[in-house]
Chain A
Amino acid sequence: MNRFVIAEPQNCIGCRTCEVACAMAHKPADIPMLTPENFRPRLKVIKGARVSTAVLCRHCDDAPCANACPAGAIVVRDNSVQVLQERCVGCKTCMVACPYGAIEVVTVPADMPSGSVLKTRNLKAQAIKCDLCIDRAGGPACVEACPTKGLHLVDAAVLEATLKARREQAALVDIPNLPL
């Protein structure tokens, strides 16, 4: 089962600390400061009339984005859905396919090979989405930063423990005998 980060709306205060933590965790090291151009959080805080919550990739086990990608750029690695940026062609099929609006295609400046004859635009397409901060020692930056602990990393073990607790609650809770 793929791992994913889930947001609890009841604990969200809409402060967007998670968005900044995400943007900072994914900021290329050679960019000194965040700017509007490179501010690309992979989760978004949505505030409706009555709900505030962060929306981000669920790392679907049968991921529509991966199924739709014609370039084979979206793969499963370490129980998560990851993008191989070097394969992305920027076709945006994944954006159309994702039911959560959690993947976005952007263009970033790219270094062209030196001496290249066909020097066209120095831009590279990237499909960006939650990567669970897979290469970050402390795990997902958003989970760590959330001041109300409203974001959780869920894996098979966490889910199993939750289900077990709920089954026990269902079985052992003192409820009156109801006729079928």
Chain B
Amino acid sequence: MKKVITVCPYCGSGCKLNLLVENGKVVGAEAANGKTNEGEMCLKGYYGWDFINDTKLLTPRLKQPMIRRQRGGEFEAVSWDEAIAYASSRLKAIKEQYGPNSIMMTGSSRGTGNESNYIAQKFARAVIGTNNIDCCARVCHGPSVAGLQVTLGNGAMSNSMNEIEDTDCILVFGYNAADSHPIVARRILHAKEKGAKIIVCDPRFIETARIADLYLPLKNGSNMALVNAFANVLINEGLYDANFVANYAEGFEEYKAMVAKYTPEYTAEITGLSPELVRQAIRMYAAAPTATILWGMGVTQWGQAVDVVKGLSSIATLTGNLGKPNVGVGPVRGQNNVQGACDMGALPNTLPGYYDVSDDAARARFAKAWGVPSIPAEKGYTITEVPHKIHEGKIKAYYIFGEDPLQTEPDLGMMRKEFAKLDLIIVQDIFMTKTAMVADVILPATSWGEHENVFSSADRGFQRCYKAVDAVGDVKDDWEIYSLMARAMGYPMHYNSAKEVWDELRGLCHLYTGATYEKMADFGYIQWPCPTEDHPGTPWLYEGNKFDTPSGKALLFAAEWRPPLEKLDNDYPLGLCTVREVGHYSCRSMTGNCSALQTLADEPGFVQIHPDDAKKFGVKDQSLVWVSSRRGKVITRANINPRVNVGAVYMTYQWWIGACNELTVDQLDPISKTPEYKFSAVRVEAIDDQKWAEAYVRETYSKMKADMRKAALN
């Protein structure tokens, strides 16, 4: 048996593991002694590898290029030459007729790795000539990147995941570590054992709330009010670090004026929290010699998200909890390589290495390296703007790479309607997905385990994944597919290996220059910035309290609280919040094909509802129910759960039948364009004929799986 070192392809914890390989087939996984996981793994790490072997439990692997010549028709298997010729000639025609900005692309924050994301954005910028490339950071930690880049200068975690256990206080805000990152949850437990104070702000009584010193069950949609109240108490009670603020921060007077009215008494009605509890919490945070803030989707998936990120960053700044070990701001990234896709410039406003597209010098440097006259200076579209831009006739082609927007974006009914108007949909993936089902061209790629690459974990750590097995079928590495497309469109692009791609990339970005494949060998862990080859990497940012903002100072920022867009009424009396489930990942095309994980939790998923609401709406535990919003209606199973709050229900977003994104509202944060997944008005209705309902789910599921297999021609 051969053991191959790799990094887990789920969540951003960056756990190292060994894939066990026998006769050219992956047969198991064991935890390895990586920097972040130290020999531990969660169930996805241990049992999340068998999708590689094409189990077809949910959907089949793609094994040959395919073209659908007519919408609604069947796919037809073709050679790579034909697929590339077809896709590139149609892209070229669209570019000529409507201009480069009529083409939209995605990066992929998943198993493909950094090299392919670098090449995808190079294809967009150098070959197509557009900044229209974005990745699922948009629907996840986009607000953290946008907010922190403004306040501190870097959009990533300021400190390392390992440091979490040596901090004296953890403020957990809208972040369910146990379900999202079990290996980070373990760090929080260690911190508690070592005597750290734990404060949890979350409407649900999450696992971390069980070990919290203070638990603040705030109302859904009141984040900004609570963060402003924290700032108000810090200032009014003189708990902030006046010296730090005077020397290393700016904007204090405006900030102070903005939070002046947000006393805990004023915010009590908005947040539902007693003023005394709010005061105790922020006093506890301020009193700690070192304190860390961790946040997740509970902060970012709101119409007011960037403001709250900036607010949390300001709390850390006010108390001097930056620029040293065991402190800081921690937006813990949800997908294994969403940090990496951002690092590589799969964003419409930044080049690789976070050079802004408006930076003339950076653009000129990249243009020269890529051998093109220029790179466009105007920002591209975000993935959440895509349906609107299609509607306006501005986007004509969508080249989708390792994402499944027809499962993961809000208001899927509207998405499907707009997708149908596109002239060309290219899907480059490893699985048949809901999105691939409507594609005109399918370009099949190698999976994690079948190629080598680098991932970036949530704390900016670059790590290498080695190739374990050869792919089955006529598939290619993603960077090679882009190279074929580029050459077909007249741009000379050729690489012999992922390492060659990586070396080009690190030569162009001062943040990554020193992160060589050699230094990342085996268990090497290089955290950017790593500007030179003799640099060891940077576990924590802002040494000497020097921030990467234009002025070198941290910006203090607060904004007026805004309520969520959707209003509850008699027809839709409950607030739906979409959440995550520990055993599944993203659109589920990977974990849904892993036997252990799909056995643990399968369609149609659950809606978590408080016992009082269940009683009110006549819902029985484990029964099938309808959940409907102003946009759609889905069937799912009731999970009567005393840990959720009255008036809100929670659904996980990976189910294909119980698809909560049929219900969610397309309301975006004005800056980051991140959807308000955390608040849509819904109603829950009991179903009298459970026998019919069970049969309906069974039949729908069987048909869906059969259709996928048929479409994939296997």
Contact = CB atoms under 8 A, between A and B. Distances in A.
Contact of A23 (B40, B42, B596): B596
Interface in B39-60: 40-43, 46-47, 50, 55, 57
Given A13-B178, A39-B600, A50 B210 contact: yes
Interface stretch (A29-37, A66-74, A106-114, A170-178): A29-37
A142 to B, nearest CB: 12
Interface stretch (A14-22, A75-83, A93-101, A161-169): A14-22
Contact of B189 (A13, A23, A33, A52): A13
A52 B582 contact: no
A33 B596 CA distance: 8
Contact of A24 (B47, B185, B205, B210): B47
A43 to B, nearest CB: 14
A85 interface: no
B642 interface: yes
Given A15-B42, A17-B43, A147-B40, A24 B596 contact: yes
B599 A15 contact: no
B42 A17 contact: yes
B46 A20 contact: yes
Given A20-B47, A36-B599, A39-B600, A13 B583 contact: no
Contacts of B178: 13-15
Contacts of B42: 15, 17, 147
Interface residues of B, number: 31
Nearest to A49: B642
A51 B211 CA distance: 10
Contact of A14 (B40, B46, B47, B207): B207
Contact of A34 (B41, B46, B207, B595): B595
Interface in A127-178: 145, 147-149
Contacts of A17: 41-43, 46, 182
Contact of B211 (A10, A24, A35): A10
Given A16-B583, A24-B47, A49-B643, A35 B599 contact: yes
B183 interface: yes
A35 B600 contact: no
A111 to B, nearest CB: 23
B599 A34 contact: yes
B570 to A, nearest CB: 29
B600 A19 contact: yes
B602 interface: yes
Interface string B589-600: 000000111011
B210 A15 contact: no
Contacts of A23: 596, 599
B43 A20 contact: yes
A87 interface: no
B186 interface: yes
B642 to A, nearest CB: 4
Interface string B153-188: 000000000000000000000000111001101100
Contacts of A145: 41, 43, 46
B602 A34 contact: no
Given A20-B47, A36-B602, A147-B183, A13 B207 contact: yes
A152 to B, nearest CB: 15
A15 B11 CA distance: 14
B595 A48 contact: no
B33 to A, nearest CB: 14
A49 B211 contact: no
B599 A49 contact: no
A36 B207 CA distance: 26
A19 B601 CA distance: 12
A149 B182 CA distance: 12
Given A20-B600, A33-B595, A148-B189, A15 B43 contact: yes
Nearest to A32: B595
A17 B597 CA distance: 10
A158 to B, nearest CB: 19
A50 B602 contact: no
B642 A16 contact: no
Contacts of B643: 47, 49
A165 B77 CA distance: 70
A4 B43 CA distance: 23
Nearest to B602: A36
B596 A51 contact: no
A48 to B, nearest CB: 7
A16 B210 contact: no
Of A23, A33, A35, which is in contact with the most chain B CB atoms at under 10 Å from its CB?
A: A33
B15 to A, nearest CB: 9
Contacts of A48: 642
B210 A148 contact: no
B596 A16 contact: no
A51 B205 CA distance: 10
A15 B182 contact: yes
A16 B582 contact: yes
Given A15-B42, A19-B600, A33-B55, A147 B210 contact: no
A27 to B, nearest CB: 9
A49 B204 CA distance: 11
Best-surrounded residue of A12, A20, A48, A50 (most CB of chain B within 10 A)? A20
B205 A21 contact: no
Given A33-B55, A147-B41, A147-B183, A20 B596 contact: yes
Contacts of B189: 10-11, 13, 148
A48 B463 CA distance: 38
Nearest to B15: A147
Interface in B601-654: 602, 642-643
A36 to B, nearest CB: 6
Contacts of B599: 23, 34-36, 39
A16 B57 CA distance: 21
Contacts of B600: 16, 19-20, 39
Given A14-B178, A16-B582, A147-B182, A52 B41 contact: no
Contacts of B182: 13, 15, 17, 147-148
A50 B599 CA distance: 26
Given A21-B46, A33-B55, A49-B642, A148 B595 contact: no
Contacts of B43: 15-17, 20-21, 145
B481 to A, nearest CB: 31
Nearest to A144: B31
Nearest to B209: A50
B467 to A, nearest CB: 25
B594 to A, nearest CB: 9
Contacts of A24: 47, 596
B599 to A, nearest CB: 4
B8 to A, nearest CB: 12
A174 to B, nearest CB: 19
Contacts of A47: 643
B205 A13 contact: no
Contacts of B210: 10, 50-52
B369 to A, nearest CB: 43
A35 to B, nearest CB: 6
B385 to A, nearest CB: 36
A49 B644 CA distance: 9
The 4 closest A-B CB pairs, nearest first, are: A33-B595, A13-B178, A49-B642, A17-B43
16 contacts: A13-B182, A13-B186, A14-B178, A14-B582, A16-B583, A16-B600, A17-B41, A17-B42, A19-B600, A20-B600, A24-B47, A48-B642, A49-B642, A145-B43, A147-B182, A147-B186
Given A10-B210, A17-B46, A34-B595, 12 more contacts: A13-B178, A15-B179, A17-B42, A17-B182, A20-B597, A20-B600, A34-B599, A36-B599, A50-B210, A148-B40, A148-B182, A148-B185
